[in-house]
Amino acid sequence: MTYLEGSGKEFAGPPLLLEQLDADPLRQFLAWYQEAQRVETGDPTAVALATSSREGRVRSRMVLLKAIDERGFLFFTNYGSRKGRDLADNPQGAFSCFWPASMRQVCVRGAVEKTAVEESAAYFESRPVLSRLSAWASPQSEPIPPERSFLEDRLQQVQERFSSGHVPLPPHWGGYRLIPDEVEFWQGRSNRLHDRFHYVRVPGGGWKVERLAP
């Protein structure tokens, strides 16, 4: 057995109090995200997204959150990828993010829906042209030949195909919206006595908030 050594850093963050929290966890997330944007050195939009197959086999990977609206959290990907296939079979997901400088974690769980094609197209159009071409070129999550030239050749082919300039939204690519029914805000505190507040959506509207033991 090899014991792993972390930074050993104490999570000595400020208190998190129930009365500081917004009644809406999406607004609360946005407030924490805006603070993270100021103080984090890494990308504060990076989250570990978990999905599960029909049989209940779970997988996680990083994605970037690209938007939040009153319904949920948006991320974009290839609909034919492993996560896309999981979500077609079981439209439930969860993600966590960790903002180390703030000593904060947020964990979210809920149903996942595809965004409207217009929403996917609007975001796709905003991406740099090479990212748009890569979305056409890469059969995300499929096994491919070991040589990188396979991908470079595919990129060249799509560059030729769209040489007129306009790179449209690929039919296999777009957004998902995770519509939360549970959100937890975790603030690291000293001596491992962290502050945790857990929101659960109440049928009929609103949220119930409970403190959880660390």
Ligand X SMILES: Cc1cc2nc3c(=O)[nH]c(=O)nc-3n(C[C@H](O)[C@H](O)[C@H](O)COP(=O)(O)O)c2cc1C
Q: In this chain, which of 28, 77, 102, 120 binds ligand X, going by CB under 6 A?
A: 77
Residue 162 burial by CB count (10 A; 0-12/13-18/19+): exposed, middle or buried?
middle
Residue (45 or 196) nearer to ligand X, CB? 45
Stretch that binds ligand X, among 9-17, 18-26, 60-68, 191-199 (CB under 6 A): 60-68
Is 52 a binder of ligand X (CB under 6 A)? no
Query: How far apart, in Å, do the first and last CA atoms of the chain sit?
Result: 28
Q: Minimum distance from CB of 199 to ligand X (Å)?
A: 24
Q: In this chain, which of 26, 29, 73, 81 binds ligand X, going by CB under 6 A?
A: 81
Handedness of CA 6, 36, 52, 145 (dihedral sign): negative
Find out whether 100 and 40 touch, Cβ atoms under 8 Å: yes
Residue (23 or 88) nearer to ligand X, CB? 88
What count of residues does the chain have?
214
Which residue is catalytic, options 71, 192, 196, 211?
192
Clarify whether 127 is annotated catalytic.
no
Residues 9-48 contacting ligand X, CB under 6 A: 46
Residues 124-163, mask of contacts with ligand X (x by CB under 6 A): ----------------xx----------------------
Backbone angles phi, psi at 186, to 5 degrees: -120, 120
Q: Minimum distance from CB of 122 to ligand X (Å)?
A: 16
Q: Minimum distance from CB of 78 to ligand X (Å)?
A: 6
Residue (90 or 214) nearer to ligand X, CB? 90
Task: State how far the Cα of 23 lies from the Cα of 9, in Å rounded to an integer.
Answer: 31
Is 122 a binder of ligand X (CB under 6 A)? no
Active site residues: 192
Q: Which residues bind ligand X (CB under 6 A)?
A: 46, 59, 61-64, 75-78, 81-83, 140-141
